[in-house]
Chain A
């Protein structure tokens, strides 16, 4: 069965410090990988995706993620955190073998950036 794990319920960082939000997955084959962000009382916003090619993917708002096939991980990173980055972050995967199949989400990680 396909699954996504976000091992940390909450990540706390100080503004200006680098941040990492972890994600590991269990999917057969080579999946598509995604990160979404959710601000309070809002829908999910797409941040970035890995489809193929370069293992380091750059996305919106200065975020990036590194795909590591051997460790089946797709950690979200940002070199310098902002207070406005505080939100709920979801990692998701999709089986690339079938078009239009639904995303499988992790349980989410709350990022709190202190000033």
Chain B
């Protein structure tokens, strides 16, 4: 978890409301990722970024958008939250090759 923080750590929101999750890193890593973790599915990629203002979709991107205006921050927005987006969200960073480093996670509940 070193160098990567996520906020908020826990959030409960209502269906239909927009939600933004923040990932902040102090490692100056070029690549950043958003995953969601659900029982029986492991981790699935939502969006990723390969540089400032450069982002791309992952496996489960529908209903999510991202922005990266600075190297250190990667925002994930649920445009209109649904109950199916109740999950634990993890941010990760990487230099380029090899392993990724994960943040502590955000537990989101959509009621």
Which residues of A approach B to under 8 Å, CB–CB?
Answer: 4, 32, 34, 36, 41-46, 49, 51, 90, 99-100, 102-103, 105-108
What are 14 A-B contacts with C-beta separation under 8 Å? A32-B98, A36-B102, A42-B105, A43-B4, A43-B103, A43-B105, A44-B90, A45-B102, A46-B100, A90-B42, A100-B48, A100-B50, A103-B43, A103-B100
Beta-carbon contact of A107 and B50 below 8 Å = no
Please tell me the number of chain B residues within 8 Å of chain A, measured between CB atoms. 28
The interface residues of chain B lying within 8 Å CB-to-CB of A32 are 97-98
Q: What are the nearest 9 A-B pairs in CB distance?
A: A43-B102, A105-B42, A100-B31, A107-B42, A44-B102, A105-B43, A102-B45, A99-B96, A46-B99
The interface residues of chain B lying within 8 Å CB-to-CB of A36 are 102
Which residues of B approach A to under 8 Å, CB–CB?
Answer: 1, 4, 30-31, 33, 35, 40-45, 48, 50, 58, 90, 92, 94, 96-105
Give which listed residue, A34, A46, A49, A102, contacts B48 with CB less than 8 A.
Answer: A102
With contacts A100-B31, A102-B33, A102-B48 taken as known, whether A43 is within 8 angstroms of B90 at the C-beta atoms is yes
* Nearest-Cβ distance from residue A66 to partner chain B, whole angstroms: 18
Name the residue on B nearest A44 (C-beta): B102
With contacts A90-B42, A105-B42 taken as known, whether A100 is within 8 angstroms of B103 at the C-beta atoms is no
